[in-house]
């Protein structure tokens, strides 16, 4: 029943750094190192790690917004670099972390949501799809004419979700979708997001350093450290019985409420 969507093999991404010495090769930072990953329909994969662990680079590689230095990514059996982008991009969409910078401040909400519909040649009526998707994220239609700076952080992030869902993708990649939001607002975003993913049967790749968000939305998880996957498995299994030291450190670092 589950189709294989993404398959990454020995994925590597190196970044050349500025020269620190006059002679010799430029130093290289290995953002993603020898990574193997499989994502199927209906998967809810969490990617956990600290900043600099390569999570966002992985997201960009999966979206073909960045090219790997070596290794391969296949989407639905075809190599990503050879795939037709207009089809691929309809299927895979992303929600970025910072709602302040992920929406063009010069465009209205309506224009922001129409953009994927236009660029991806969405077949059905664009206007009604825009309305539909705004409804799905529980935003009023009147918000269409507003600009991002007129909206609260939570509203902006919902617009970002609406934009991602507009062209009806089958895979949603969310890069720290609630980290920039206040604690109560996170709740307002996670709940509808969780429901939408269920009802639309989306595959989810959720990147976060916040373990509670991961446990909320993800069935499986991979833990990344310095570009490598150090642990992987069922969310329950990994967090209940962490094998790698880093995973253990992460879990023990979550602040606990005092027992009173």
Partner 1 sequence: MVAFSSTMALLSVFWTPYDPLEINPDISLAKPSWSHLLGTDVLGRDVLSNLLAGSRTTLITAFLVVIITMSLGVMTGVGAALSPRWFNRTAIYSIDIVLALPAVLFAIVLAAIHGPSTFTAVIAISIATSAAVAQVTRREVAVVLNSDFVLAAKACNSNKLKIVQQHILPNIRASLFIQASGAAAIAILAESTLSYLGLGTTPPAPSWGRMLASSQQYLLIDPVVALWPGLAIIITVLGFNLLGDGLREALDPTLRKSRS
Partner 2 sequence: MKFLEVENLTISFNNKVVVNNVSFSVSAGERLGVIGESGSGKTLIALAIIGLLPEAATVTGSVQLAGEDLMALNDQQMSAYRGNQLAMVFQEPLTALNPIMRVGKQIAQPLRNHNNFSIKAGIARAVELCTAVGLPDPEHIVRAYPHQLSGGQRQRIGLAIAIACNPKLLIVDEPTTALDVTVQKEVLQTINDLVKQQGSSLIFISHDLPVVSTMAEDIAVLRYGELVEHANIAALFNNPQHEYSIKLVDLARATEKEFSNFTKSRTL
Residues that bind partner 2 (CB under 8 A): 50-52, 153, 182-185, 187, 209-212, 215-216, 235-236, 239-242, 248-258, 260
Q: Please state the closest distance from residue 252 (CB atom) to partner 2, in A.
A: 7
The entry of partner 2, partner 1, none near residue 116 (CB within 5 to 8 angstroms by kind) is: partner 1
Q: Please state the closest distance from residue 214 (CB atom) to partner 2, in A.
A: 9
Contact call for residues 170 and 154 (beta carbons, < 8 A)? no
- DSSP type of residue 166: T
Residue (171 or 230) nearer to partner 1, CB:
171
Q: Please state the closest distance from residue 242 (CB atom) to partner 1, in A.
A: 32
Residue (33 or 238) nearer to partner 2, CB:
238
Footprint (CB under 8 A) of partner 1, residues 197-216: none
- DSSP type of residue 182: -
The pairing of beta strand 92-95 with beta strand 4-16: unpaired
130 CB-side CA count, 13 A: 19
Q: Which of 5, 33, 167, 178 binds partner 1 (CB under 8 A)?
A: 167
Which residues, including other chains, have CB under 8 Å from residue 256's CB and lie 6 or more apart? none
Which residues, including other chains, have CB under 8 Å from residue 185's CB and lie 6 or more apart? 152, 153, 154, 178
The entry of partner 1, partner 2, none near residue 260 (CB within 5 to 8 angstroms by kind) is: partner 2
Footprint (CB under 8 A) of partner 1, residues 25-64: 63
Residue (8 or 178) nearer to partner 2, CB:
178
Contact call for residues 207 and 173 (beta carbons, < 8 A)? yes
Contact call for residues 170 and 5 (beta carbons, < 8 A)? yes
């Amino acid at each position: 029943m589950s189709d294989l969507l993404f398959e990454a093999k020995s994925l590597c991404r190196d970044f050349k750094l500025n020269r620190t010495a006059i002679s010799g090769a430029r130093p290289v930072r290995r953002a993603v190192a020898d990574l193997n990953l499989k994502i199927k329909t209906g998967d809810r994969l969490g990617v956990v790690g600290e900043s600099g662990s390569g999570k966002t680079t992985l997201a960009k590689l999966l979206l073909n917004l960045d090219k790997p230095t070596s290794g391969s990514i296949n989407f639905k059996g075809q190599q990503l670099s050879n795939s037709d982008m207009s089809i691929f991009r309809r299927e895979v969409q992303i929600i970025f972390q910072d709602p302040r910078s992920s929406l063009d401040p010069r465009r209205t909400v309506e224009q922001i949501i129409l953009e994927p519909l236009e660029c991806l040649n969405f077949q059905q009526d664009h206007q009604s799809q825009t309305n539909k998707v705004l409804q799905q994220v529980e935003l009023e239609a009147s918000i269409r004419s507003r600009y991002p700076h007129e909206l609260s952080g939570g509203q902006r992030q919902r617009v970002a979700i609406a934009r991602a869902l507009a062209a009806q993708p089958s895979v949603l990649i969310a890069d720290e979708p609630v980290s920039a939001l206040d604690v109560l607002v996170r709740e307002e975003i996670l709940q509808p997001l969780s429901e939408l993913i269920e009802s639309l049967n989306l595959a989810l790749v959720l990147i976060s350093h916040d373990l509670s968000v991961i446990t909320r939305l993800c069935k499986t998880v991979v833990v990344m450290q310095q570009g490598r996957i150090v642990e992987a498995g069922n969310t329950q299994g990994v967090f209940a019985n962490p094998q790698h030291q880093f995973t253990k450190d992460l879990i023990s670092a979550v602040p606990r409420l005092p027992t009173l």
